[in-house]
Amino acid sequence: VPAINPERLLGDLYALRKIGTYKTGVHRPTFSPDDLVSRQWLVERMTEAGLGAQIDGIGNVFGRSRASGPIMLAGSHIESQNHAGWLDGALGVIFALEAARALRDDPSTRDLGIDVIAFCDEEGHYGSYLGSRSFIGDVGEDEIDRARDRTHGKMMRDALREAGYAGRPRLTMDPSRYRGYFEAHIEQGRRLELGKLKIGGVTAIVGLWDYRIIAVGHQNHAGTTMMFERKDAGMAMVRLVAAIDRRFKEIAGPRSVWTCGRMEFDPGGPSIIPGEARALFQFRDDDLAVLTRLDSALHELIAEANREGPCEVRVEVIRKSQPAIMNEGFLQALERAAAQHVPGLAVRMPSGAGHDAQHVARKIPSVMMFVPSINGISHHWSEDTSDEDIVLGARVFTDAIAGVLRSA
């Protein structure tokens, strides 16, 4: 069994935390100066680990194994949300790196290899999973042409040129090279912590369906327009969203979540009946049948609102991502490894958050493994996981990969 080196593992995570430190977390948005430093730092760590390391034309950092035997792809991302935590993404990349080193260091596993990857922009500063989607061949040049940073508006082309990555080829995966893909991540929720558990084997990454709802009425004076003659788009929207919430409670699956993340009225004054209202509405589930059921209910309720009037309501789909089912054999490998290191402390669970693995899973068998998040906090600088849980997680992760590759 290959042994990870806890000091080396934690040392790398601490070193990465020092690049772009913000309070106890990091501020390393994609292609920021600190992000570029961290990518170069990772290339050096990969090279030291004996991997053939490079940064490609979209900023993916890739370390190719020179092992002669079966190969696993593993990784995550190293940029952060703005002013966010030190482990979201970084943990999965360093776990993959440490697993690659552990396999190389042990004579019994030296023939087994791990290609380590840090996918660029998982956090969506410029687009939607551009790095992992590029790696599976799902991003055209036109999408990169259009991509711009959501905080400061810089075009991705300009950022790539300034980084020195422009003109480099974009790497695309050769699926036949891999047994599959493993990604470790912090849970970003409280299920493991509340259950005093140590390892989450992810069964599926939820599908996420996003909508923009628009109600059109008639803008008028709030004092002189009688109630019977109003076309109040604001009230129409409030009634509709309340009805959706009531219906969803009746028909949702046990893990469904739904959110109205934004509602705005136009023109938005205290003495003006809103002429238009817009809302962003989203739901997530790991079961396509449930997603489809919620989608139908949403459309039925909008049709009902239009029949009743007096406002006109329409809905636009912003995106519909499919749930990604994780590989059963890989889940069992994680469970076998967990049974060795933390007997009885592993659980299966879906991921409510999106991850690069949902795209990689379209091409090769994939799995994710969660470690506990203290207080379930993430996308905030106070995000944390104990050193003990980090080391335990890396042991389980490495053993599981070795187990899969050895049985290949």
* Region binding Zn ion by CB under 5 A among candidate stretches 82-90, 102-110, 157-165, 236-244: 82-90
Tokens of residue 153, six digits: 């508006």
Q: How many residues bind Zn ion (CB under 5 A)?
A: 2
- Asked whether position 285 contacts Zn ion by CB under 5 A, the answer is no
- Residue 70's Cβ-count burial label (10 Å; 0-12, 13-18, 19+) is middle
Q: How far is the CB of 15 from Zn ion (least distance, A)?
A: 19
* Region binding Zn ion by CB under 5 A among candidate stretches 37-45, 86-94, 307-315, 387-395: 86-94
Choosing from 35, 79, 88, 121, the residue that interacts with Zn ion (CB under 5 A) is: 88
Q: How far is the CB of 273 from Zn ion (least distance, A)?
A: 44
| Angle subtended at Cα 231 by Cα 227 and Cα 234, rounded to the nearest 5 degrees | 100
Q: How far is the CB of 138 from Zn ion (least distance, A)?
A: 19
Q: How far is the CB of 196 from Zn ion (least distance, A)?
A: 24
| Residues near 405 by beta carbon (within 8 Å), at least 6 away in sequence | 69, 70, 71, 72, 103, 109, 112, 113, 179
Q: How far is the CB of 148 from Zn ion (least distance, A)?
A: 21
Within residues 89-118, the interface with Zn ion by CB under 5 A covers 89
* Region binding Zn ion by CB under 5 A among candidate stretches 37-45, 88-96, 159-167, 365-373: 88-96
Q: Provide the residue type at 398 as one letter.
A: T
CB-facing half-sphere around the CA of 212: CA atoms within 13 A = 8
Backbone angles phi, psi at 13, to 5 degrees: -65, -40
- Residue 106's Cβ-count burial label (10 Å; 0-12, 13-18, 19+) is middle
Q: Decide whether 122 or 232 has the Cβ nearer to Zn ion.
A: 122
Q: How far is the CB of 408 from Zn ion (least distance, A)?
A: 28
Binding mask 125-164 for Zn ion (x = CB under 5 A): ----------------------------------------
Name the percent of the chain in helix, strand, coil, to the closest 5.
40, 25, 40
Q: Which of 199, 61, 34 is nearest to 120 (CA)?
A: 61
Tokens of residue 353, six digits: 């958050």
Q: Decide whether 31 or 211 has the Cβ nearer to Zn ion.
A: 31
Residue keyed to tokens 């470690």: 371
Q: Decide whether 181 or 281 has the Cβ nearer to Zn ion.
A: 181
Question: Per-residue b/e over 257-291, b at no fewer than 16 CB within 10 Å?
Answer: ebebeeeebbeeeeebbbbbbbbebbbbbbbeebb
Binding mask 198-237 for Zn ion (x = CB under 5 A): ----------------------------------------
Residues that bind Zn ion (CB under 5 A): 88-89
